[in-house]
Amino acid sequence: MTDSKYFTTTKKGEIFELKAELNSDKKEKKKEAVKKVIASMTVGKDVSALFPDVVNCMQTDNLELKKLVYLYLMNYAKSQPDMAIMAVNTFVKDCEDPNPLIRALAVRTMGCIRVDKITEYLCEPLRKCLKDEDPYVRKTAAVCVAKLHDINAQLVEDQGFLDTLKDLISDSNPMVVANAVAALSEIAESHPSSNLLDLNPQSINKLLTALNECTEWGQIFILDCLANYMPKDDREAQSICERVTPRLSHANSAVVLSAVKVLMKFMEMLSKDLDYYGTLLKKLAPPLVTLLSAEPELQYVALRNINLIVQKRPEILKHEMKVFFVKYNDPIYVKLEKLDIMIRLASQANIAQVLAELKEYATEVDVDFVRKAVRAIGRCAIKVEQSAERCVSTLLDLIQTKVNYVVQEAIVVIKDIFRKYPNKYESVIATLCENLDSLDEPEARAAMIWIVGEYAERIDNADELLESFLEGFHDESTQVQLQLLTAIVKLFLKKPTETQELVQQVLSLATQDSDNPDLRDRGYIYWRLLSTDPVAAKEVVLAEKPLISEETDLIEPTLLDELICYIGTLASVYHKPPSAFVEGSRGVVHKSLPPRTGSSESAESPEAAPTGAPPSEQPAVIPAQGDLLGDLLNLDLGPPVSGPPMTTASVQMGAVDLLGGGLDSLMGDESEGMGGTNFAAPPAGTMPATLSAPIGGGLGDLFDLTSGVGTLSGSYVAPKAVWLPAMKAKGLEISGTFTRQVGSISMDLLLTNKALQVMSDFAIQFNRNSFGLAPAAPLQVHAPLSPNQTVEISLPLNTVGSVMKMDPLNNLQVAVKNNIDVFYFSTLYPLHILFVEDGKMERQMFLATWKDIPNENEAQFQIKDCPLNAEAVSSKLQGSNIFTIAKRNVEGQDMLYQSLKLTNGIWVLAELRIQPGNPNFTLSLKCRAPEVSQHVYQAYETVLKN
Amino acid sequence: MIGGLFIYNHKGEVLISRVYRDDIGRNAVDAFRVNVIHARQQVRSPVTNIARTSFFHVKRSNIWLAAVTKQNVNAAMVFEFLYKMCDVMAAYFGKISEENIKNNFVLIYELLDEILDFGYPQNSETGALKTFITQQGIKSQHTKEEQSQITSQVTGQIGWRREGIKYRRNELFLDVLESVNLLMSPQGQVLSAHVSGRVVMKSYLSGMPECKFGMNDKIVIEKQGKGTADETGKSGKQSIAIDDCTFHQCVRLSKFDSERSISFIPPDGEFELMRYRTTKDIILPFRVIPLVREVGRTKLEVKVVIKSNFKPSLLAQKIEVRIPTPLNTSGVQVICMKGKAKYKASENAIVWKIKRMAGMKESQISAEIELLPTNDKKKWARPPISMNFEVPFAPSGLKVRYLKVFEPKLNYSDHDVIKWVRYIGRSGIYETRC
């Protein structure tokens, strides 16, 4: 008996006939009729008119008939919602059937009947089935929750099905677990914010156990779900990786790719120094290669993914070049993908082999493939310098074949080779020029014109060649027109005498006869340049061009990282994020790789920070090394801050950049920017937004630091105090203060003559002191000081005088002489004038030093009544050369880690703890010379409170 | 997940259409027909995106299977599923043809309902499916025990085998099937060579037998060699380095990962236990030495020598050498020492067949190809010379060391099982450029 006869009923009046048969008393006839209905449905005929008759057949013991009716129901229930309710009773009854197969069938079909009215009737049976004793029913019910959620999400939440589903993750049957995971993952996707898939080490452990036991499909669901988990540290990441690696030997390629996804993702968290990291890298290569012996469609998926993997981690497959060699019988889509990967893997070590292969491919039949192969040869030349010569000669061989598209493609890549290795392969230009006539594609024509323009001085008939293109100027594509304009201007600048007419002609064509604004603008700019200052024009147009980079067609790194999270899926096949091809809310969730951690290069993840914080009873809180480094990365985003004020710098740079960019496009280079000039710091005005954000703290610091430098431009200066009263010095009153400005210390003195006679012949001398302070120049009072006159003098100081430890440490004894007598006084200088500008310690140094200094050298102080917040504090201190290296927030307190260096090379490390709302700060200082601590603390006080 | 699944004939008529998701409409059926099956240019990718809907397709003879989705599905899984679908259908009704599909459309719908739920693949092992979906209509009269046995098998850990299998004679067959692939330059330099092998097992064993399979895997041998030092010398030489291997889902992968031992409870009947790939120390059974000379513009002289490179006592079979000829060939004269050679104009090739050839022998063919003069500038691409053969050994050097069977509940031991092992080496893509 065959069923194919059902496909051949095309009679008129068929529906009526079927109706009669469906209502027949004979079971066999009924079944036959339903089969006919299904067959008609399949080929797209509308048989919805039979709805009531078919539903009537539902009440039957015959499972086959039942299944057919269900199939019909799933298709047409939506168009006949009122009638569909008729079926509800049967479903409810079937859900109680003693046969688990029937219970499952009922619950499976129920979910597929997408009629709102019915859904509420389904809740009770579904609830029962979710707790059914038979795993087959439970695994079907789990999927049904996802179905119901798709129809009515609110209902599912209200009925508490999500919790039941979560419970199923701990089910004893692996297939139930797998389906529950699949359903939850899908539901979670449409609620990006919810914490539905609450993955924690315990649930992960359950999933990993189920992984070993469930079907191949279940393994895929679980692995895809695991990939969304973020392990809390590298140890957890490693232990998951260890349990996932056996999946790499699975016969199902999808299992393998999903396992690769998990590994690639969690590998980010492993330190590269770890032995395991290397082992893992080695383990990844063979399964990836094995994927290439799968069926061609899967090979295609695998190759698209390998393309991502070699960009992310080239080391995995660097020795596997040969497996990507194209086979004669590979489908074209596999060939093209292999070629892409071959170029990516090409290196000096394998270039000879690769070139031999590419040359082979360039003689194949498929036009796209041949073009790509030719292009690949050019890429190799650019990528591996040693091979450039061989590549060029291969390309020349190919040009000799005179196959039109091969020649054109070759010329396009030779242009790129010229751009990479200027003035090296010009000898081939003659050969290229021979093929001028055969070029009919814009890209090839533009490339050829560029070559002619660039090397106009070496091509005798350059003007003729370019003139020949000019004839059909308006028929050319924009690309060619722009190139032609630039090339002729270049030619004119190189050989002005013979080509004046030509340049006039092209300029007028471009400016007067063209509607294309780009072309017109470029034409006008050239014209003005040439008419105002030909020398400048020459400098601009014929300027040396930056070389093109080696790697091209690379996927932008953030997108690449996102795509790595989507290995195995469509996104990885399209090389696009899901949002680019998926409608609605699904796939909008942006996935990203876990941040790298480890000892050598690391950034802290937001979650990791609190756990890494040491207990608070410890007086000195030093963050884990990794955390500090994380901050370092943030801080280092900008250039060093000790230079001139940033704001002005960025304005100037901006101007340069604008010009540079403009010039660059004028010069006829299509793609690359003038990378070098583009280093302007972001203008300070854009920064405040990040000030309060915890992660942006680094940037915030940067901003504050810059403004600190910009406004204060020097350390705090105390008001002048009287050092030597007039009474003690026969009428000479000296008051003064110390300042530090841009690296130089000075003593600002105010000398007042309160005597009745004129004073002259001033001189000053310091006694030996703790830091070797000494006048850097003699005290210069130019005119004699008449009575009641005051003179202000700034005396530059240095720290190269003789040293003697004083008590107190910052005591300075000074002798001042004038024509009357010698007077002595002593004063205390604030220590912060000795804080040098390069007192910013590197973080790692800081950390090491902090640990290195014995704890007994630590001193703790309270700074009372200081109402500033952490940012203000660090910017204020920065002005006095106390540098904030890192800032962390621990349990609501801001911790500032700071360093400063004294003129004599003593480092002082500080930890400043600031509680918001509490004006009292705690300052811990560590220094190898603990005597200075007290004075440093005073310096802090002084700076902060003024 | 998969939103819908369609099967078309070569004309683009729908034979089977099953929609799982609401976002896939009937128009998707037509979109695929218009844009892929009837496309003017042959599609260049097995994945096509039409109006934000993605279509995955595979072709079996002239039947198209297409899976449709609007979501970011696991693409590898969709293809694996389509292949599996083909396997399941083939296991039920043989060749996948329009005729067979039409004849079994009810069965196919039933299968699709079972193995794909809401677009999620479910258990698709034919062994398990056949217990409750049959071509003779559904057995609705299962007993209670049978029912629970079915469901526990479909969802269970050992979904590929049912309990209570009994054989009078416990027997198993192991086939080591290898295909050796080669790409050689005209100068005889090996550009790439690898063996992809499969171990296919046919088991007729009672109960739930626990099996352990051993081969001369270098890693295992070296590990054991440490224990008995004197043995390393002998067996170490014969061991082979396996680049990578994959296993049937019955094999405990975690055990393989930790101990590199292959243990499993086999499905009943035939299944593929493992696949592997080797690239080192491959025995290339044949060497092809081509010599092509262009005599003027209208004549080509071709001489091809093949040398067999294995033990003289072994015999290679079904040897076929395929020498491509240019499209403008007008006549061919062939002389060969052994076998038969024929010019097949429809295939643009000279096909040279030799029934049998012993090891360490040599044979040659020479041909004169006359060409029609053309003004086609394009040079002839010279496709490689390909070769087919079958040899009674494993070119990778793989040897089965043991296959132990334990069945603790039934009273038969490893010695009672009759075991057969056979090695077949076939040519995969075995090409020499000329």
- DSSP assignment of A57-68, as one string? TTS-S-HHHHHH
All residues of chain A having their beta carbon less than 8 Å from the beta carbon of residue B120 are 143, 179, 182, 217, 221
pLDDT range class, residue B232, cuts 50, 70, 90: very low
Is the bond preceding residue A231 a cis peptide, omega within 30 degrees? no
B80 vs A99, A254, A300: nearest CB:
A254
- Closest CA–CA distance from residue B135 to any residue of chain A (Å): 11
**A109 phi, psi to nearest 5 deg:** -70, -40
- Closest CA–CA distance from residue A869 to any residue of chain B (Å): 47
Distance from chain centroid for Cα B94: 17
**Cβ–Cβ below 8 Å for B244 and A111:** no
Domain A721-829 indexed as CATH 3.40.1190.20: no
Interface test with A, best of B118, B129, B280, B327 (most A CBs within 10 A): B118
B249 vs A215, A254, A569: nearest CB:
A215
All residues of chain B having their beta carbon less than 8 Å from the beta carbon of residue A583 are 23, 52, 70
User: Under CATH, to which class is B4-132 assigned?
Assistant: alpha beta
All residues of chain B having their beta carbon less than 8 Å from the beta carbon of residue A328 are 383-384, 386, 429, 431
**Cβ–Cβ below 8 Å for A179 and B110:** no
Query: How many beta-carbon pairs under 8 angstroms link A with B?
Result: 286
User: Among B125, B151, B3, B6, which residue's Cα sits nearest to residue B65?
Assistant: B6
pLDDT range class, residue B137, cuts 50, 70, 90: low
Mean pLDDT of B118-126: 90
Distance in angstroms between the alpha carbons of the first and the last residue of chain A:
101
- Closest CA–CA distance from residue A670 to any residue of chain B (Å): 30
Residue B111 confidence (pLDDT) above 80:
yes
A254 vs B74, B254, B386: nearest CB:
B74
B17 vs A42, A135, A247: nearest CB:
A42
**What per-residue confidence (pLDDT) applies to B79?**
96
Instruction: Give pLDDT tens digits for B271-283.
Output: 999 999 999 889 9
- CA-nearest residue to B58 within chain A is A297
DSSP B227: T
Mean pLDDT of B167-176: 93
- Closest CA–CA distance from residue A369 to any residue of chain B (Å): 11
- CA-nearest residue to A115 within chain B is B22
Percent of chain B predicted with pLDDT > 70:
94
Q: Are A259 and A290 in contact (CB under 8 A)?
A: no
Interface test with A, best of B57, B106, B219, B386 (most A CBs within 10 A): B106
**What per-residue confidence (pLDDT) applies to A257?**
96
pLDDT range class, residue B378, cuts 50, 70, 90: low
Q: Which two tokens stand for residue A407?
A: 């020649």
A293 vs B13, B81, B196: nearest CB:
B196
**Cβ–Cβ below 8 Å for B80 and A6:** no
B72 vs A336, A401, A582: nearest CB:
A582
Q: Are A749 and A736 in contact (CB under 8 A)?
A: yes
**What per-residue confidence (pLDDT) applies to A297?**
95
All residues of chain B having their beta carbon less than 8 Å from the beta carbon of residue A369 are none
- Closest CA–CA distance from residue B313 to any residue of chain A (Å): 32
Residue B313 confidence (pLDDT) above 70:
yes
- Closest CA–CA distance from residue B339 to any residue of chain A (Å): 26
All residues of chain B having their beta carbon less than 8 Å from the beta carbon of residue A322 are 191-192
- CA-nearest residue to B179 within chain A is A293
Helical H segments across A678-789, by residue range: 697-712
Low-confidence ranges of chain A (pLDDT < 70): 1-5, 7-13, 192-194, 551-552, 584-589, 596-715
Q: Are A38 and B105 in contact (CB under 8 A)?
A: yes
**B72 phi, psi to nearest 5 deg:** -85, 75
- CA-nearest residue to A149 within chain B is B118
**Cβ–Cβ below 8 Å for A3 and B105:** yes
Angle of the A116-130 helix axis to the A161-168 helix axis, nearest 10: 40
**Cβ–Cβ below 8 Å for B72 and A566:** yes
**Cβ–Cβ below 8 Å for B244 and A290:** yes
Q: In chain B, which segments carry CATH 3.30.450.60?
A: 4-132
All residues of chain A having their beta carbon less than 8 Å from the beta carbon of residue B14 are 42-44
H helix or E strand, kind and range, residue B55: strand B53-60
- Closest CA–CA distance from residue B31 to any residue of chain A (Å): 14
Interface test with B, best of A73, A74, A217, A567 (most B CBs within 10 A): A217
**Cβ–Cβ below 8 Å for B123 and A573:** no
Q: Are A421 and A455 in contact (CB under 8 A)?
A: no
Residue B141 confidence (pLDDT) above 70:
no
Helical H segments across B94-228, by residue range: 98-103, 105-115, 126-129, 144-155, 218-225
**B221 phi, psi to nearest 5 deg:** -60, -40
Distance from chain centroid for Cα A343: 24
- Closest CA–CA distance from residue B302 to any residue of chain A (Å): 20
Calpha distance A810→A831 (Å, rounded) = 7
A297 vs B46, B74, B140: nearest CB:
B46
All residues of chain A having their beta carbon less than 8 Å from the beta carbon of residue B247 are 249-251
- Closest CA–CA distance from residue B275 to any residue of chain A (Å): 8
**Cβ–Cβ below 8 Å for A220 and B83:** no
Give the angle A513-A517-A520 at the CA atoms, nearest 5°.
Answer: 50
Mean pLDDT of B343-365: 93
DSSP letters for A336-369: HHHHHHHHHH--TTTHHHHHHHHHHHTTSS-HHH
- CA-nearest residue to A37 within chain B is B106
- CA-nearest residue to A573 within chain B is B75
A250 vs B17, B192, B253: nearest CB:
B253
Specify the CATH number for A834-945; select among 2.60.40.1230, 3.40.1280.30, 3.30.310.10, 3.40.50.720.
Answer: 3.30.310.10
- Between strands B418-432 and B171-184, the pairing is parallel
**Cβ–Cβ below 8 Å for B13 and A43:** yes
- Between strands A732-741 and B269-278, the pairing is unpaired
Residue A93, C-beta contacts closer than 8 angstroms, at least 6 positions apart: none
Q: Which two tokens stand for residue A829?
A: 């200088």
Q: In chain B, which segments carry CATH 2.60.40.1170?
A: 171-223+238-281+395-432, 286-391
The dihedral formed by the CA atoms of A188, A190, A194 and A195, expressed in degrees to the nearest 10: 10
pLDDT range class, residue B379, cuts 50, 70, 90: low
User: Under CATH, to which class is B171-223+238-281+395-432 assigned?
Assistant: mainly beta
Residue B246, C-beta contacts closer than 8 angstroms, at least 6 positions apart: A249, A250, A251, A256, A287, A290, B274, B275, B276
**Cβ–Cβ below 8 Å for B72 and A325:** no
Binding site of B, by residue number, is: 340, 342, 344, 353, 355
**Cβ–Cβ below 8 Å for A570 and B73:** yes
All residues of chain A having their beta carbon less than 8 Å from the beta carbon of residue B54 are 570, 581
**Cβ–Cβ below 8 Å for A215 and B122:** yes
- CA-nearest residue to B44 within chain A is A333
**Cβ–Cβ below 8 Å for B69 and A295:** no
* Architecture of the domain spanning B286-391: Sandwich (2.60)
Amino acid making up residue A428: V
DSSP A719: P
Interface test with A, best of B120, B158, B161, B388 (most A CBs within 10 A): B120
How far, in Å, are B3, B60, B84, B87 from residue B29 at the CA level? 12, 18, 22, 23
pTM of this prediction? 0.69
- Closest CA–CA distance from residue B413 to any residue of chain A (Å): 27
A571 vs B52, B72, B275: nearest CB:
B72
